[in-house]
Structure 1
Amino acid sequence: MQTPTIVQDDITIAQQAKLKPIGDIAALLGLKEDDYEPYGHYKAKVKLDVLKRLKTKQDGKLILVTGISPTPAGEGKSTVTVGLGQALNRLGRKAVVALREPSLGPTMGIKGGATGGGYSQVLPMEDINLHFTGDIHAITAANNALSALIDNHIHQGNQLGIDPRRIIWKRVLDMNDRALRQVVVGLGGPAQGVPRQDGFDITVASEVMAVLCLSEDIEDLKQRLSRMVIGYTYDKQPVTVADLKAQGAMALLLKDALKPNLVQTLENTPAFIHGGPFANIAHGCNSLVATKMALKLAEYTVTEAGFGADLGAEKFINIKSRAGGLKPDAAVIVATVRALKMHGGVPKDQLKAENVEAVKKGLENLAQHVHIMHHFRLPCVVALNHFLHDTETELKVIEQWCEEQGVPFTVCRVWAEGGRGGEALAETVIKLVEGQQTGKENKNPAADESLRFTYPLEASIADKIRAIATNIYGARDVQFSPKAQKQMEQFEMYGWGKLPICMAKTQYSFSDAPNRLGRPTGFTLTIRELKPSIGAGFIVALTGDVMTMPGLPKEPAALKMNIDNEGKVEGLF
């Protein structure tokens, strides 16, 4: 099948699709009517009892989709994830896709929708990209209920001795709104509360989101919520949600949000869309319960981790896999010709022109991501997500490089062709995980090798951060600000030193400077401060100028969105 020169926009393709009733999709997975709660005709919440019932069933194969360092335009990682799931089903493998839920902030901001693209989308895309089943709104409510309880506690006498200057818990909103980064609350006199400086994060950066995505049941959720640190007392001792006795009410607000959401792709492949922590702030993976449920219900689970392998895949292994006892059987590294050219020095407005030398130079970025996969002992395949302006010469250069490196390579046309365009990738993945060789000089680790973590949990916070920076990013060293050095000492004293590290870093570069593209070497990574996410079970290390509340661009995607009198949605991409 030849790639067409014209493909309709995503929302038009989605609106022309023939969806199956959600009961039919559930039946494909062997689920009974009592196992799920329909949300309309095409969405459902799957009960956690399913996971308990299937506890002894053997897991299927887990495929982790990651990518090279992305460009502002995005490289189609979700599209490849969906297309691979569809392709595996076309080849007779029972496959499920497991993705994150889109945040309204990026949807209304620079990206538009986030449900795949072309003929590899999850549906109903309008619902998923907007309110969906209300999970993110529930997280917003739980987070802000805690904020209200904190300020009320201080107003009512402050028995815990909370220092208003040292409250680290912020309110949240699922929207990019830079005006809310710094605010003052409690103004207007004694009846309105105690004035203090506060701020807003975007909801998907809330620790509540990270907690939800790593919790296995309601009891685990309550325990994790209770451990969250909201600030410190006047004598600098941490104050937790348990101290405020707020975990029960928060869990109540999250009781439905904890259940995975079941939908379908354009080709009616089952898909779990659940949880959505930011990838350059939190751990950037879909929920643990959705991934585990998919592994019990299918032969193959295709999931993704946010941004490149240095961010999403690193956190998938060192945080999510550790927490849930997961081991991916193989990884897919998504690359594009245009991203390689940008990493090779080509400006964004010149990416459509053939530039073989820039592709060759940009391959250094891909090389570091392959190194990361081999560092984890994960067999991997490079999937070149095809774009209409790619030339055969450019594709041949990438294919030849992969052959020299002993890494399988396929051109992926799932955007234009759906599952059919991903069959070559699916065949390669099947060979990798079922133990067959994919080439004479294959240098991939064996699929049955044990997973390698980047650091032992017993190491110090500084050593864990340094291990990530040097082994994953290729940094020469790490520099800690005076504030970060003091925080490390305090965190060790509080007993938090044995937790994993969640690096908050720009997605565009291996360094902490977004304009250092390609494969920078000899750089020093600067850690400006640390943030405790004790409920989620990790320490966040902030680098560069990473924001926990993004802003809108000059021309937000929201300006192109509309709905007509018949309910037809426009402008979601």
Structure 2
Amino acid sequence: MTEKAKPLSDLAIATSAIMQPIFDIAKNAGIPEEAVEPYGKYKAKIDVSKLPVTQSFGKVVLVTATSPTPAGEGKSTVTVGLADALARLGEKSMIALREPSLGPVMGVKGGAAGGGYAQVLPMEEINLHFNGDIHAITTANNALSAMIDNHLHQGNALQIDPRRITWKRALDMNDRALRHITIGLGGPGQGIPREDGFDITVASEIMAVFCLATSLTDLKERLSQMVIGYTYDKEAVTVRDLGVEGALTLLLKEAFKPNLVQTIEGTPALIHGGPFANIAHGCNSLMATNTARKLADIVVTEAGFGSDLGAEKFMDIKARKGGFAPDAVVLVTTIRALKMHGGVLKSNLGSENVQAVKDGIVNLEKHVETVRTFGVQPVVALNRFITDSSDELDFVLEWCAEKGVRVALTDVWGLGGEGGLDLAKQVLELLDENNDFAPLYDVEQPVIEKINTIVQKVYGGKGVVLTDKAKKDLLQIEQNGWDILPVCMAKTQYSFSDDPKKLGRPEDFTITIREIIPKLGAGFLVCLTGDIMTMPGLPKKPAALQMGIDEQGNAFGLM
């Protein structure tokens, strides 16, 4: 018997693809040459100020997913494949995606450029340093830290309490050793000794500001509003008090321009900004989304992790700020994910287990309910894997039919846009219908009501419990008039609850809020739950152990 050939890796597929010059991609997207700032042959920055003025905006398709599992669901892959499929049907489509963070790329999660024959290119450059945006955000973040410590060293005119500085340094790498550090040691000439720490760059408030700002002027204003700590009298100190918002904006000026790349099939893609969805709002920049809306008839975008995290924040934070509504929502799931939510170990996913699919489909059911709570009907994209049995697939298809849920089998990993044609057709049908989209809560509601609304309507929990620290935080927030901001929940992505081990659809649980952090520049309140951390660690065997470069300069080992 002839041994079956192993499928090509994502990197092998990406590097064998023939790319079009970026000026051709821009021309096909309606971007004038004077607006294109090339970064080599196949990447470019777009000067939005030089785009044609238009009063028409394309429709927005949000791609989200069921609660993620270590088996992987392929949300970014479906996002890319759907846009390619829409283009095959003659639609003028464009993609808006987040930039990958080096921490997960070198750690365990892998990159964020799609997979198989539904990828954005050049894959290896996008997954590594790309056009330097995240480095610029890291630099701006740490420039602010340097300014704070210099202010303390030079006499501390603002009377900043070193014990109450909330601003942390940043690094775009998973590095648990930097979570809590001591700085300024070595004598008077080395600064003021104090405790500090690092966040991963994508958790920096500057990343959230970067992604929610609508212009350079708005960017500067938002940066100026960021709280960096408190005085000895417990009064908030902002970037505006330090007077460095102009310098920070200058450092971000070039990075703020959206990045243009292409898919394997030549569909234009804007990749810009990259906050995590479990500790931030998890969406690409408003600049990129709005630019794509001006250029394309249909914009396919995604929000990090499941609908309980990225999609909820897309609806309640990004869409609210951006003044637009998602016109359709795609909910990605897999047989493998449903089996894990049904109690199957990752090592056993290759064996048929219809009962586990039946047990785990409650997770999909809750995500469908969540999307519908926002007044939008979802299309389930059942992302097919070679190990899926016909009985397993048939059960999900029949379940969707019984529940009145649109569903489409997809195989964009193996077939590119062709494998997403059924999904694209169903999305087009949805786009022809009106929806009743509305955010879940009014920002004027009390903070505890906003949190409870998310916990009860999105997570399916009973309510929340605030620690003593969170209660003090909330009192301070109310006293300062910051309670009119939306809420950004920082929660595990693996469960609706704050316990990552409770898979499926847990019930009768409460969410514990251990801390509430005002992010005035970003314009939301971050509620930390469970053991969520803003600086992840690397796994026992990081993906970086398999990476390298050959003598010809070709990368290998990238996921």
Partners of 1:420 and 1:522 in 2: CA distance: 43
Counterpart for residue 23 of structure 2: 23
Q: Percent identity?
A: 62
Query: Secondary structure of 1:239's partner?
Result: strand
Counterpart for residue 43 of structure 2: 43
Counterpart for residue 14 of structure 1: 14
| Residue 473 (1) aligns with residue 471 (2) | no
Query: Secondary structure of 1:525's partner?
Result: strand
Counterpart for residue 291 of structure 1: 289
Residue pairs, 1:237-276, within 5 angstroms: 237-276=235-274
| Residue 460 (1) aligns with residue 423 (2) | no
- Which residue type is aligned with residue 202 of structure 2? V
Deviation at 1:208, TM superposition (A): 0.2
Counterpart for residue 75 of structure 1: 73
Deviation at 1:554, TM superposition (A): 0.5
Preserved CA contact (<8 Å) 1:7 1:416:
no
Counterpart for residue 331 of structure 1: 329
Deviation at 1:6, TM superposition (A): 4.5
Residue pairs, 1:365-380, within 5 angstroms: 365-380=363-378
- Match for residue 117 of structure 2 among 108, 116, 119: 119
Partners of 1:288 and 1:327 in 2: CA distance: 13
Deviation at 1:113, TM superposition (A): 2.0
Query: Secondary structure of 1:349's partner?
Result: helix
Query: Secondary structure of 2:275's partner?
Result: coil
Query: Secondary structure of 1:475's partner?
Result: coil
- Which residue type is aligned with residue 141 of structure 1? T
Query: Secondary structure of 1:368's partner?
Result: helix
Counterpart for residue 449 of structure 1: 435
- Match for residue 483 of structure 1 among 465, 469, 482: 469
- Which residue type is aligned with residue 65 of structure 1? V
What is the aligned length?
556
Partners of 2:333 and 2:71 in 1: CA distance: 13
Query: Secondary structure of 1:503's partner?
Result: strand
Partners of 1:482 and 1:236 in 2: CA distance: 18
Counterpart for residue 154 of structure 2: 156
Q: Which runs of 5+ in 2 are unaligned?
A: none
- Match for residue 557 of structure 1 among 531, 536, 543: 543
Partners of 1:453 and 1:286 in 2: CA distance: 19
- Which residue type is aligned with residue 300 of structure 2? V
Preserved CA contact (<8 Å) 2:494 2:501:
yes
Q: Indicate how the Cα distance of structure 1 residues 301 and 5 shifts in structure 2: closer, same or farther if over 3 A, else same.
A: farther
Residue pairs, 1:160-309, within 5 angstroms: 160-309=158-307
Deviation at 1:50, TM superposition (A): 4.3
Preserved CA contact (<8 Å) 2:494 2:500:
yes
Instruction: Give deviations 1:504-558, integer Å, cap 9, x for gaps.
Output: 0000000000000000010011000011110000000000000100000000000
Partners of 2:406 and 2:460 in 1: CA distance: 23
Write out the 4+ residue segments of structure 1 that deviate beyond 4 Å after TM superposition: none
Partners of 1:176 and 1:35 in 2: CA distance: 35
Instruction: Give deviations 1:151-190, integer Å, cap 9, x for gaps.
Output: 0000100010100001110000000000000100000000
- Which residue type is aligned with residue 38 of structure 1? P
Q: Indicate how the Cα distance of structure 1 residues 5 and 327 shifts in structure 2: closer, same or farther if over 3 A, else same.
A: farther
Query: Secondary structure of 1:487's partner?
Result: helix
Deviation at 1:243, TM superposition (A): 0.3
- Match for residue 517 of structure 2 among 513, 525, 531: 531
Preserved CA contact (<8 Å) 2:400 2:406:
yes
- Which residue type is aligned with residue 47 of structure 2? K
Counterpart for residue 424 of structure 2: 426
- Which residue type is aligned with residue 302 of structure 1? V
Preserved CA contact (<8 Å) 1:7 1:118:
no
- Which residue type is aligned with residue 24 of structure 2? D
Preserved CA contact (<8 Å) 1:22 1:42:
yes
Deviation at 1:347, TM superposition (A): 1.2
Residue pairs, 1:393-404, within 5 angstroms: 393-404=391-402
Partners of 1:5 and 1:282 in 2: CA distance: 41
Residue pairs, 1:558-573, within 5 angstroms: 558-573=544-559
Preserved CA contact (<8 Å) 1:61 1:300:
yes
Deviation at 1:495, TM superposition (A): 1.1
Counterpart for residue 495 of structure 2: 509
Partners of 1:291 and 1:428 in 2: CA distance: 22
Query: Secondary structure of 1:333's partner?
Result: strand
User: What is the CA RMSD across the aligned residues, in angstroms?
Assistant: 1.0
Counterpart for residue 527 of structure 2: 541
Deviation at 1:57, TM superposition (A): 2.4
Deviation at 1:73, TM superposition (A): 3.1
Partners of 1:464 and 1:485 in 2: CA distance: 15
Partners of 1:408 and 1:470 in 2: CA distance: 25
Deviation at 1:570, TM superposition (A): 0.2
Preserved CA contact (<8 Å) 1:484 1:530:
yes
Deviation at 1:5, TM superposition (A): 7.8
Preserved CA contact (<8 Å) 1:205 1:277:
yes
Deviation at 1:434, TM superposition (A): 1.4
- Which residue type is aligned with residue 408 of structure 2? T
Partners of 1:182 and 1:73 in 2: CA distance: 32
Query: Secondary structure of 1:527's partner?
Result: strand
- Which residue type is aligned with residue 20 of structure 1? Q
Preserved CA contact (<8 Å) 2:71 2:336:
no
Counterpart for residue 107 of structure 2: 109
Query: Secondary structure of 2:525's partner?
Result: strand
Instruction: Give deviations 1:249-300, integer Å, cap 9, x for gaps.
Output: 0000000111000000000100001000011011000000100110110111
Preserved CA contact (<8 Å) 2:70 2:346:
no
Q: Indicate how the Cα distance of structure 1 residues 490 and 150 shifts in structure 2: closer, same or farther if over 3 A, else same.
A: same
Preserved CA contact (<8 Å) 1:5 1:388:
no
Deviation at 1:112, TM superposition (A): 2.3
Query: Secondary structure of 1:374's partner?
Result: helix
Counterpart for residue 91 of structure 1: 89
Partners of 2:437 and 2:77 in 1: CA distance: 27
Query: Secondary structure of 2:299's partner?
Result: strand
